[in-house]
C-alpha cells in the first residue's frame, strides 16, 4: 500500500481506541460523536485489513495486529507532537548560535557591550555579529535572513512585513573637552554658532540634527566632518571643537575621556530608538529571546 493512500488521522483514531477501549469514550476524547467514531474505526479497519478492536464481554479488545501496531503508532504520534507541532525551544545557556545585528557605529558602542556582558554570564555560546547597513538595505537584510535584528533609528522599517518595538527616547547633547575655554553648561545660540563644530555623517544614514538646523535656516561653521562616531572622541579631547550627538552616545563618551556634556541651545523633537525585525522570524524562539534581551537591557 502506498502511504499516500492512508489517511494518517487514522493513527490518532487507533491511539484513542487503544487508550479507551471503547468507541464511545474514544470518540468523546477526540471530539467525535459515537457514529462518527465508529465510521472512523471502520475506515481504519478497511485501510489496515484487520478488525483491530473486537467487541467482547469486557469491552473492545485489541487483536494481535493491533497490539503489534501500538508502539509504532505511539512513536509516530510522539514524533509529530515533538518535532512538528511543538515550537523548538531556545536555551541560551546551551545554545551555540550567532546573531547578526544591524546597528550604526553608535550602536556598537551603546548596545553591543551590554549584550556581550550579559551573554558572557548567561549565554556563553551566543555570539553577536554587528553590521552597519544603511537604512534602505537594512530591510532587505532582515527579510533575506542576512541579519536577525536592527537596533537604532530606522524610520524606513516602519512598513508592512516588519515589526518594531520602542526601546528608549533619545535627544541631543553637545560635547566639548572638559577644560574648554569658552563653552559653559548652557551656551546661548550665539555662543554655539561662534564655535567651530565637528559633525559625524555616517554614510547612508539620516542625520536628524543636521536636518533640524537646516529647517531652522541655521548654518554653523563645520571644521571636521567624520564618517564614524568612534573617531569623534579623540578629536573633541584634543581640540576646541564642539559636537552635537545623541545623548546615549555622549554618556558612553563621558565614561571614556575627560569631556563635558552641555545642553544645546536648540533641541529638536526627541526621537525613539527601536528594535526592528522581519515577520519571518517573529515566532522564532531564538529571535524572540534576543528581542526580549534587548528590550530588558535598553527599555527606559
Partner DNA sequence: GGCGGGAAGAGAAAGCCTTG
Partner DNA sequence: CAAGGCTTTCTCTTCCCGCC
Q: For binding to DNA (CB under 7 A), which residues are involved?
A: 7, 9, 22-25, 31-36, 38-42, 53, 55-60
* Residues 6+ away with beta carbon under 8 Å from 177: 236, 237, 238, 239, 240, 258, 259, 260
Residue 115, beta-bridge partner list? none
Residue 4 Cβ vs DNA, minimum distance, rounded to whole Å: 13
Residue 22 CB, shortest distance to DNA, in Å, is 4
Say how many C-beta atoms besides its own lie within 10 A of residue 100's C-beta. 18
Give whole-number Cα distances, 182 to 77, 187, 244, 265, 273, in Å: 77, 9, 16, 15, 32
CB of 66 to DNA, least distance (A): 12
Burial of residue 185 (CB within 10 Å: 0-12, 13-18, 19+) is exposed
**Quick one: DSSP state of residue 81?**
I
Q: Minimum CB separation from DNA for residue 265, in Å?
A: 59
Per DSSP bridges, beta strands 259-262 and 196-200 are unpaired
Q: Which is nearer to DNA, 13 or 101 (CB)?
A: 13
Taking the least distance from each CB to DNA, the nearer of 52 and 200 is 52
The C-alpha cell of 125 is what? 555560546
**8 Å CB contact between 17 and 76:** no
Cβ proximity to DNA, 25 vs 247, nearer residue: 25
* Closest distance of CB 60 from DNA, Å: 5
Q: Which CB sits closer to DNA, 53 or 192?
A: 53
Which H or E element spans position 164? strand 162-170
Q: How far is the CB of 64 from DNA (least distance, A)?
A: 17
Q: How far is the CB of 82 from DNA (least distance, A)?
A: 24
Q: Which is nearer to DNA, 38 or 206 (CB)?
A: 38
* Nearest one of 219, 250, 218 to 232, comparing CA atoms: 250
Q: Which of 125, 61, 82, 134 is nearest to 103 (CA)?
A: 134
Q: Which is nearer to DNA, 24 or 171 (CB)?
A: 24
**Given the complex with DNA, which of 7 and 214 has the nearer CB atom?**
7
Amino acid at each position: 500500500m502506498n502511504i499516500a493512500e492512508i489517511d494518517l488521522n487514522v493513527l490518532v483514531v487507533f491511539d484513542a481506541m487503544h487508550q479507551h477501549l471503547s468507541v464511545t469514550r474514544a470518540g468523546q476524547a477526540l471530539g467525535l460523536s459515537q457514529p462518527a467514531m465508529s465510521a472512523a474505526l471502520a475506515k481504519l479497519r478497511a485501510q489496515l485489513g484487520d478488525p483491530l478492536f473486537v467487541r467482547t464481554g469486557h469491552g473492545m479488545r485489541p487483536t494481535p495486529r493491533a497490539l503489534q501496531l501500538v508502539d509504532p503508532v505511539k512513536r509516530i504520534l510522539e514524533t509529530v507532537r515533538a518535532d512538528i507541532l511543538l515550537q523548538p525551544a531556545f536555551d541560551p545557556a546551551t545554545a551555540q548560535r550567532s546573531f547578526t545585528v544591524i546597528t550604526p557605529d553608535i550602536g556598537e558602542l551603546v548596545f553591543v557591550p551590554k549584550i556581550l556582558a550579559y551573554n558572557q554570564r548567561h549565554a556563553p555560546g551566543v555570539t553577536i555579529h554587528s553590521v552597519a547597513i544603511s537604512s534602505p538595505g537594512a530591510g532587505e537584510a532582515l527579510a533575506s535572513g542576512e541579519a536577525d535584528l536592527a537596533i537604532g533609528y530606522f524610520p524606513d522599517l516602519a512598513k508592512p512585513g516588519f515589526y518594531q518595538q520602542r526601546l528608549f527616547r533619545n535627544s541631543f547633547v553637545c560635547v566639548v573637552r572638559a577644560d574648554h575655554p569658552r563653552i559653559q553648561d548652557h551656551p546661548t545660540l550665539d555662543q554655539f554658532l561662534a564655535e567651530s563644530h565637528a559633525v559625524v555623517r555616517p554614510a547612508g544614514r539620516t542625520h536628524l540634527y543636521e536636518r533640524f538646523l537646516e529647517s531652522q535656516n541655521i548654518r554653523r561653521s563645520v571644521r571636521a566632518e567624520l564618517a564614524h562616531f568612534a573617531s569623534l572622541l579623540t578629536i573633541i579631547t584634543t581640540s576646541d571643537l564642539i559636537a552635537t550627538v545623541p545623548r546615549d552616545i555622549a554618556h558612553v563618551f563621558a565614561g571614556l575621556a575627560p569631556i563635558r556634556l552641555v545642553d544645546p541651545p536648540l533641541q529638536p523633537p526627541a526621537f525613539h530608538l527601536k528594535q526592528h525585525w522581519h515577520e519571518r522570524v517573529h515566532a522564532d524562539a531564538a529571535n524572540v529571546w534576543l528581542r526580549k534581551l534587548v528590550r530588558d537591557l535598553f527599555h527606559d
